[in-house]
Homo-oligomer: A and B are copies of this chain.
Amino acid sequence: MPSTVGPLSAVKVLPEPAGLPGPLPEPAVEDLRLETVLGALSDPLRLLIVRKLLLESEQFDHPCGWFGIDRPKSSLTHHFKALREAGVTRQRQYGLERRSHVRVADLNARFPGLLDLVAAWTPDAP
C-alpha cells in the first residue's frame, strides 16, 4: 500500500468550494487496485471498521466517534485515511465531522463478492 494515494494524475481532486460537503480526494472506480484494497483490508482494525459500516449502516455516513474504538484520534485518522485512499470508503465533511461510508457499488462492480467476505468476517475466532 503506497503512503499517498498514488500518482496525482490518478486521483479525483475536487477543490471543494469552501465548506460545502463534498467527497474527500479518493481514487476513481476504474483506478481501484485489488492489491491495494486487499492491503487496506489486511488490518483487523480496518476490517472491523468496514464490517461495522456494512452491517450497521450501509445507507448513512458515520463520524469517527460512532465506531467506539478505543484508540487515540491520530491513530483513527491514520486508518480512515488508509481506507479512503485505497478506495474502500468515501468521506465527506459535514460541518465539524468527517463522515465515512463504504463505496459498496464501486467495490461490488470491481471486486464482486469481496464485501461479502468482510461482512462475514469475525474479529477473533473461527
Which residues A31-65 have CB closer than 8 A to chain B? Answer: 31, 34-36, 38-39, 41-44, 47
Chain A interface size, as a band, is: 20 to 34
Copy total for this chain: 2
Does A67 belong to the interface (CB within 8 Å)?
no
A97 within 8 A of B: no
- Is A70 an interface residue, CB under 8 A from the partner? no
A109 to B42, CA, bound (A): 19
A112 sits at the interface (CB 8 A): yes
- CB of A13 closer than 8 Å to a CB of B: no
**Please, which residues of chain B bring their CB within 8 A of the CB of A117?**
34, 111-114
0/1 per residue, A59-95, Cβ < 8 Å to B?
Answer: 0000000000000000000000000000000000000
Residues of B within 8 A of A126 (CB): 30-31
Give which listed residue, B1, B31, B39, B121, contacts A34 with CB less than 8 A.
Answer: B121
- Say if the beta carbon of A116 comes within 8 Å of chain B: yes
A54 to chain B minimum Cβ distance, whole angstroms, is 14
